[in-house]
Amino acid sequence: MARTLISGGTIISATGRTTGDVLIEGESVAAILAPGQAASLGVTADRVIDATGKYVVPGGIDVHTHMELPFGGTNASDTFETGTIAAAWGGVTTIVDFAVQKTGENVHESLAAWHEKAAGNCAIDYGFHQIIGGVDEESLKAMTYLVDNEGVTSFKLFMAYPGVFYADDGQILRAMQNASETGAMIMMHAENGIAIDVLVAQSLARGQTDPYFHSLTRPAELEGEATHRAIQLAKVAGNVPLYIVHMSASEALEEVAAAQHAGMNVFAETCPQYLYLSLEDQLMQPGFEGAKWVCSTPLRTKHEHHHRDLWKGLRMNELAVVSTDHCPFCMKDQKELGLGNFSAIPNGIGGVEHRMELLYQGVVNGEITLERWVETCSTTPARMFGLDRKGAIAPGMDADILVWDPTRRTKIGINDKHHMNMDHSAYEGFEIDGKVDTVLSRGTVVVENDTFTGSVGHGRYVKRGLSTYLH
């Protein structure tokens, strides 16, 4: 069994930092050794990775990606192959993507379709959540089966997108009651889609068709309202575990914080775009340029306190996780479907490669600590979604490890660091005070010396358990 020793680095965990060496045997972490202990014990390794002056952290876990997602008459431009390679470039060693059931479709068939897309095509490990777009007796039975047999223990519902994914309050309650019985997590896209559709139609009727009207017709109040409603339905369903996805607005965060204070099992994530990008600086770019940043929930104004509140939420654990909602579309032939009609622009931003980098910049900027970086990007996602062998560097855990160099810099951009299958970068020109150095997936080096050294097909499907936040 091959042995690798990562020596001389500072090991960062969610609870602290220590200088030591990481011994890997095969695909797992075998031991954490004190400095010099390997030599005194006569430990030998087939390979030694010198991490002197660098941070050794658990590989990133992105629990919200959409590879090959059909949306708006096209498909997300990253395949499982290109998307997981890009993820590896960014220090991400596990993704959890979404199998999609729309109204009228069969849940089992939709999960099988996503397995077919991913199997043999991933460079890193992957799991699935299940989108339930049509709540009925058949899909409710399927939810229970997936928890018991398929390692799918979280289900996403939508309060937005009427006619595609939308579930009404009664359907949401039934799905939540089912999850309450099985211990599964309900993930919620919390926006009032019925009201949003009225605002969109009114905007288009007035000739307001530019990309920035996407944000103005999805106001923060309707994200806050839907978040409140989802929390109340979860309470009625027996305090079912509820996870609000891609949170962008202070109003929604306030609802989550209040629910947590009241003892409810309510959690939330945000994404880098809501921490760094804004309506004014990105969506309001001249002409059609703002289409690059059309996503839902939308980018918010920088003149209110959304950005500040979200960073505060990360520090205070009101926000448990940072994911990306990675759903990339090219401008050419994809985003351009919405020329002259912002509501036809495919919704999504590509970011799976840059989450670890962008959140590390938050450490440099004094927004969060190194430990909180690891916690929100690796450890908590693993615990939240039942990835029992991921998210920490400890004996017996999968050897998913990122060696991070804080002394170097990363410039993000289409001609700089960019490996996602897109013709633009949402973070063009961003500079990060740090750099991905070496990435290991289950003990195999997949990125080193600015080279992808992994292989497509290395990534395995991970059957997930229940959230260990609650069990």
Residue 34 forms part of a structural domain: no
Q: What does the mean pLDDT of the chain come to?
A: 97
The torsion region of residue 149 among left (phi > 0), alpha (psi -120 to 50) and beta comes to alpha
User: Is 393 domain-assigned?
Assistant: no
Rounded Cα distance between 241 and 356, Å, is: 26
- pLDDT over 90 (residue 268): yes
Query: Residue 447 and residue 402: Cα distance in Å, rounded?
Result: 9
Between 77 and 102, the higher pLDDT residue: 77
As a whole number, mean pLDDT of residues 171-193 equals 98
Q: Report pLDDT for 272.
A: 98
Residue 40 lies in a domain: no
pLDDT-based confidence at residue 103 (cuts at 50, 70, 90) = confident
For 211-249, the DSSP string reads TTHHHHTS-HHHHHHHHHHHHHHHHHTTS--EEE-S---
Q: Whole-angstrom Cα distance, residue 32 to residue 36?
A: 12
* SS3 call for 248: coil
Q: Tell me the pLDDT tens digit for each residue of 285-333.
A: 999 999 999 999 999 999 999 999 999 999 999 999 999 999 999 999 9
Q: What is the pLDDT of residue 471?
A: 59
Task: Kindly state whether residue 81 falls inside one of the protein's structural domains.
Answer: yes
**Dihedral angle of Cα 224, 229, 230, 233, to the nearest 10 degrees:** 160
Strands 60-65 and 92-101: parallel
Q: How far apart are CA 244 and CA 462, in angstroms?
A: 23
Q: Is residue 450 part of a domain?
A: no
In a domain, 197, yes or no: yes
Looking at the domain assignment, is residue 431 inside a domain? no
Any idea what the CATH number is for the domain that residue 313 is in?
Answer: 3.20.20.140
Query: Stretch 356-376: mean pLDDT, rounded?
Result: 98
Longest Cα pair distance anywhere in the chain, in angstroms? 76
Position 93 pLDDT exceeds 70: yes
Q: Which residue from 344, 360, 216, 206 is spatially nearest to 288, judged by alpha carbons?
A: 344
Is it the case that residue 76 has pLDDT exceeding 80?
Answer: yes
User: What is the arithmetic mean of pLDDT over 125-137?
Assistant: 96
Mean pLDDT of 204-218: 97
Structure confidence at residue 180 as a pLDDT band (50, 70, 90): very high
Residues 223-250 have a mean pLDDT of 98
Range of the domain at 284: 59-384
381: pLDDT strictly greater than 80: yes
Q: CB-based burial of residue 149 (10 Å sphere; 0-12 exposed, 13-18 middle, 19+ buried)?
A: exposed
Residue type, 112: A
> Confidence class of residue 421 from pLDDT cuts 50, 70 and 90?
very high
437: CB partners within 8 A, 6+ apart: 51, 54, 403, 404, 405, 408, 448
Say whether pLDDT at 104 is over 90: no
**Number of folded domains that form the chain:** 1
Query: Residue 448 — φ and ψ, nearest 5°?
Result: -160, 150
Tokens of 287: 């002409």
pLDDT digits (tens, 9 = 90+) for 382-400: 999 999 999 999 999 999 9
Please report whether residue 22 resides in a domain. Answer: no
Q: Which of 67-71, 87-91, 249-253, 356-360 has the lowest mean pLDDT?
A: 67-71
- Give the DSSP letter string of 344-356: GSPP-B--TTTHH
Mean pLDDT of 413-418: 96
Q: Which H helix or E strand runs over 201?
A: helix 193-205
- Per-residue pLDDT at 398: 98
Please report the DSSP string for 86-121 in residue order. HHHHTTEEEEEEEEEE-TTS-HHHHHHHHHHHHTTT
pLDDT at residue number 163: 87
